[in-house]
Amino acid sequence: MELGHVVVLAGGLSYEREVSLRSGRRVTDALRALDIPVELRDADATLLDSLAEDPPDAVFPVLHGAAGEDGSIRDILELLGVPYVGARPDACRVSWDKPTAKSVVRRAGLRTPKSVALPKEVFHDLGASSVLEQILKSLGLPLFVKPTRGGSALGASAVHDAADLSAAMVGCFAYGDAALVEQYVSGTEVAVSVIERDGVPTALPAVEIVAPGGRYDYTARYDAGDTEFVTPARLTPEATARATEAAVTAHRALGLRDLSRTDLIVSPDGEVHFLEVNVAPGMTETSLFPRAISGADLDLGEVCRSLLTARVR
């Protein structure tokens, strides 16, 4: 089927707005290179009227952060009856909340670091020092702290010294009202992207992330040249198979659709640990999903066209 009118949805008002706009431009350019009529639209007050007055064949959402990944915008698209690429609202809500996603994939048999998720109010009501003491007593060091919801490593940090835990919590709460504190797992950080072909999830080559100083933060993710990416990841064949299986298992267990990206740590003994999943992977020039596409000798525009076409059949 030919696509006569596609909308790429990017921007929004989350902390990740600028990254989303970069993703949107990348997808738009890739589709235009295939002569597909495509329009890049922001998630603003004009969007609903525009979609209602001139419904597209399909929408490709690349909204990152809240609204884009928590299912709410996709709820609106379903109310309008507009086909779109990606997970449906309920699956987004489960995946967006990291502790919930961890519980789901754990039941599906995946390993994930021991953790605790606590809202800001707990620290206020029970006393921050007492709560931090119990966290250290239960989980030990090192730790990794991040918001329970959100992406792009905003508010995330590793903690190797007990004295730094309080500052890490403050930094985390600047980007969310609840914190996920995990045991830190050392090893090779990889991302495994999944695309569906005829409804069957297929893992793309794992991308290994070698960040400066071991910190894959916002700057390391989006400033070209700061981080080394290796595709395929330098894993043993056995570890590669386990990472691939973990990403497909997470995609299925969470009820995802069309595409996803699962972040993993492969420990030195080859065990794979699930960290989180992304239902709207970044599409920028430094993002992991396009690197995996290239690593599979595929074209980003062709993959996006295939995913769009699958939604309007």
Which one of the listed residues 152, 157, 193, 260 is annotated catalytic?
Answer: 152
Residue 214 has a pLDDT of: 59
d(Cα 67, Cα 72) in Å, to the nearest integer?
5
**Binding site listing for Mg(2+):** 263, 276, 278
With helix as H, strand as E and coil as C, how does 127-192 read?
CHHHHHHHHHHHHCCCEEEEECCCCCCCCCEEECCHHHHHHHHHHHHCCCCEEEEEECCCCEEEEE
Catalytic status, residue 152: yes
Kindly write down the DSSP assignment for every residue of the chain, as one continuous string.
---S-EEEEE--SSTTHHHHHHHHHHHHHHHHTTT--EEEEESSTTHHHHHHHS--SEEEE---STTTSSSHHHHHHHHHT--BSS--HHHHHHHHSHHHHHHHHHHTT-B---EEEEEHHHHHHH-HHHHHHHHHHHH-SSEEEEESS--TTTT-EEE-SGGGHHHHHHHHHTS-SEEEEEE---SEEEEEEEEEETTEEEEPPPEEEE-GGG---HHHHHSTTSSEEESS-S--HHHHHHHHHHHHHHHHHTT--SEEEEEEEE-TTS-EEEEEEESS---STT-HHHHHHHHTT--HHHHHHHHHHHHH-
Residue 216 has a pLDDT of: 52
pLDDT in tens, 216-272: 554 545 555 678 899 999 999 999 999 999 999 999 999 999 999 999 999 999 999
Catalytic status, residue 23: no
Catalytic status, residue 78: no
**Binding site listing:** 263, 276, 278
The torsion defined by the Cα of 103, 106, 107 and 108, in degrees rounded to 10, comes to 130
Domains of the chain and any CATH numbers: 6-86 (3.40.50.20), 93-111+186-279 (3.30.470.20), 115-183 (3.30.1490.20)
Q: State the average pLDDT over residues 110-126.
A: 94
Q: ω before 232 within 30° of 0 (cis)? A: yes
d(Cα 106, Cα 100) in Å, to the nearest integer?
10
Where does residue 213 fall: left (phi above 0), alpha (psi -120 to 50 degrees), or beta otherwise? left
Token pair, residue 283, equals: 């599409």
pLDDT in tens, 136-188: 999 999 999 999 987 667 889 999 999 999 999 999 999 889 999 999 999 99
Chain position carrying tokens 């009501």? 125
d(Cα 78, Cα 37) in Å, to the nearest integer?
22
pLDDT in tens, 300-313: 999 999 999 999 97
The backbone torsions φ and ψ at residue 102, rounded to the nearest 5 degrees and listed phi first, read -60, -40
Chain position carrying tokens 């909340």? 97
pLDDT in tens, 74-110: 999 999 999 999 999 999 999 999 999 999 999 999 9
Q: Could you tell me which of 57, 48, 6, 46 has the C-alpha nearest to residue 27?
A: 6
pLDDT in tens, 47-62: 999 999 999 999 999 9
Residue 261 CA from chain centroid, whole number: 6
Which one of the listed residues 95, 115, 193, 287 is annotated catalytic?
Answer: 287
